[in-house]
Structure 1
């Protein structure tokens, strides 16, 4: 009698799938395209098409009312020679240089402080995150009142220290700093949550090993925690840079770009050219310059991440 193995019996009893493999793969690909189509369509309609239209408008003299006329790169040449544009660019760069490091330092410091050893840490997280989800216009209005002469900040300084503070929003030397402080208060909560989640995921075994080796708290944070959360740090840095170049609401609500033009940013310059002076072509050219700047900064970030971001 022939001996039949269990594997042969199982293989013989198993029903055979006669469906062509290509058809299964075809249906799988069709489902993938179907699920991706709404997102791709939205990206095309609301991002790629407007970008293309803005590029076309930047090459025209495009009034609010009337027919556009082709002028080539004249709008870009006008931007280069426009002192107002250079001032807006300088102000934007100043805001970025002040805001991004301060935001990251404050958010990382608060995340490190809100360790699992802190009681009621979840309550503190909610409190610090609240300004991020509060309407930024309302926050800007409140801070504008706080900065006023004899406002809450000035009154507190006079009561406790006998110091009369300057009119921050009316002083060209203080206006941008005041806006940066308000912006950090408004935005650090998001990065704090990102960093806090990353720090919570650091393996406890590595921290215990470092403690046994005699490492102090600063060494543990700098040598172990920081490299392990470098992907989150890279994400937060990139997103903060992108949003800081687009700052608009805070200076517009708090100072209207003043005093003088000391707080006019690139986005406010674009807004003024498009809706105040009705120069849509020039506004589109400035928008494209801003787009290229953000794209370049983001590209530099991604190219440089290989040196300090660890994904292992």
Structure 2
């Protein structure tokens, strides 16, 4: 039977929508929309927080790597500079060993002002091959009255052909006061008076010696060096300088200072060396200034 035949014509159209009021029942467990939005925002921040931390960590690591690479580059450049300077000094020292053993008799390599300044300003020993080499060459280039010889050459007989007994002379010598310690050398300054034929010895450690040590040092010094330098010398005499060293490494600085006083016509036993109120720091600074200016400056306080 057709569908239309079953429908009651007196009833309203059953296919049309019907307006029905359904009451809204609010549950206590139903979330509020504002609360949902707030929770969503918090959740979004929490999700983004690890990304922020990761970005900061990546930046910090990148900066760390950058500064590490920069440090490596700087250290490599510094190492290259120090290595080159070290090789220069080693080359000179090897040349010195050859000279000491008599294998070669050529002049010592030329020492730069920079090398001499570096050594003279350090609170340590001075070497024949660097500072003394530079000082003696500077003196000989500046004036002609005195002919200085590098202390290292007094170990060779050929050095003694350069001296004249008819004129005054100033030299710095390198000796070994303690025969039991051949590796510990010592610088002294000497002055030869051509009129009196007497050699004055200026030693910054003179008060540290016993009378027996003074006698032995002077005898050996006269027999091995002084009699070869000045064959007609009468004798050598110890002089007590007014300024003496108080440490165990500044003999070379004092020997240079004594020589400078003698160049000026003064006597170390009568004239004090300035700058020595505390240590040799200022004296070394003065000698460095003299090396830089390439002049035999008078010993006086720097202003």
**TM-score normalized by the length of structure 2:** 0.26
Larger relative strand fraction: 2
Length-normalised TM-score, structure 1? 0.25
Q: Which has the larger radius of gyration?
A: 2
Compare relative contact order (CA 8 Å, sep 6+) and give the higher one, 1 or 2: 1
